[in-house]
Amino acid sequence: MSSIDQPLKGKILLLTGGASGIGLSVTKQAHELGARLLVADIKTTPEFDTFASGKSNIIYVQADVTRWSDFEKMFAACEKKWNDVPDAYAICAGLFDPPFSNFWQDPEQDEGYKQVDVNVNHPIKLTRLAIRKSLGRGKRASVCIIASVGGISGSIAAPLYCATKHAIVGFVKSMKDTEALTGVKITTLCPAGVLTPLFDAPKLKQYSVTEERFLTADTCAKSLLDLLQKKEHGCGSVLEVTLNGIRRIPEWNIDPPKGQGTGQELNDKGFIDNLVGPIKNTLEKEKASKL
């Protein structure tokens, strides 16, 4: 069983994190393609509410992706509305080093890193459920998980985030020979820096964010929808998107991503000072006086 084109017109797309950022752009573009949309997110946004208002082919499910029981809420809502399971999955919900789950600030004590729960456990578990649900209905499906160029390289400022994205790239590569067994295609998108609400004021400064240096959510959404729909992007595909363009990441031997917004501006002193400054401040507070 090989990959096939899976156009979204008339099909059911389940999105996590579909009310903001890249996920919201996917919601809007998939609606234009004629998809039926089940948007799961921890809360809505005014922009999503305005867009979804009056559209009978968009339903919203309040869900916390760290609670696996909430996945069943999504599938139950899909069954109730359309008497079916999804044909496609855009797994967009993610965390980018928030203060409550951050390697350098290290606030977590007892329950593990929340960022791992959201960025790793949630997409892997939902992918497994997608396979089970699709097999149970005898239907093909397509899954795309948002990773990052941080899943190919790394960043001193965001080691925990990069570790979670490396996990997703490794997971998707591991699934490359499974479509013949399951009928489900699994891919991942690795964008460079994207200007979304994940960048609060401190991060905008730390990562030297400008509109000229960063991708738009709409650009990433288009590539994600291509991964979901087009057979040229087979199971296990890892697609990098930067300001320099789009390239397929092979399983072995990859050059570093190039250009602005990729985190590789190592010859830019201002960029490096911004990036490392908060880390130095944290370590200075932890430093023993005699060190």
Closest CA to 88 of 37, 44, 21, 135: 37
For residue 43, give every residue at least 6 positions away whose Cβ sits within 8 Å of its Cβ, in sequence order, or none.
Answer: 19, 62
C-alpha span between 95 and 82 (Å, rounded): 30
- Tracing tokens 């996945």 back to the chain, one arrives at 71
Q: Exposure of 63 by Cβ count < 10 A (0-12 exposed, 13-18 middle, 19+ buried)?
A: buried
38 occurs within a structural domain: yes
Three-state secondary structure call for residue 180: helix
For residue 206, is it within any domain?
no
pLDDT of residue 156: 93
Sign of CA dihedral 113, 215, 42, 61: negative
Contact at 8 Å (CB) between 5 and 32?
A: no
Residue 163 within any structural domain of the chain = yes
Token pair 């979670």 in the structure block, residue: 164
| pLDDT attached to residue 40 | 98
What is the SS3 assignment for 1?
A: coil
pLDDT (0 to 100) of residue 290 = 54
Report which of 172, 155, 175 is spatially closest to residue 275, judged by C-alpha positions: 155
Could you tell me the CATH number of the domain that includes residue 132? 3.40.50.720
Position 57 in a domain: yes
Q: Do the domain assignments include residue 251?
A: yes
- Per-residue pLDDT, 270: 85
Residue 178 maps to a domain: yes
Domain encompassing residue 49: 12-199+214-256
- What is the mean pLDDT, run by run of 10 residues, along the chain of 291 residues? 90 98 98 98 97 97 97 98 98 96 93 96 98 96 97 94 98 95 97 93 91 95 98 97 95 81 76 87 77 51
**Continuous segment of H or E residues that includes residue 162:** helix 159-174
Q: Rounded CA gap, 280 and 291, in Å?
A: 15
- Domain membership of residue 272 (yes or no) is no
pLDDT reported for residue 289: 55
In a domain? residue 104: yes
Two structure tokens written together for 192: 């460079």
For the chain, how many structural domains are there in total? 1
Pairing type for strands 36-41 and 58-62 reads parallel
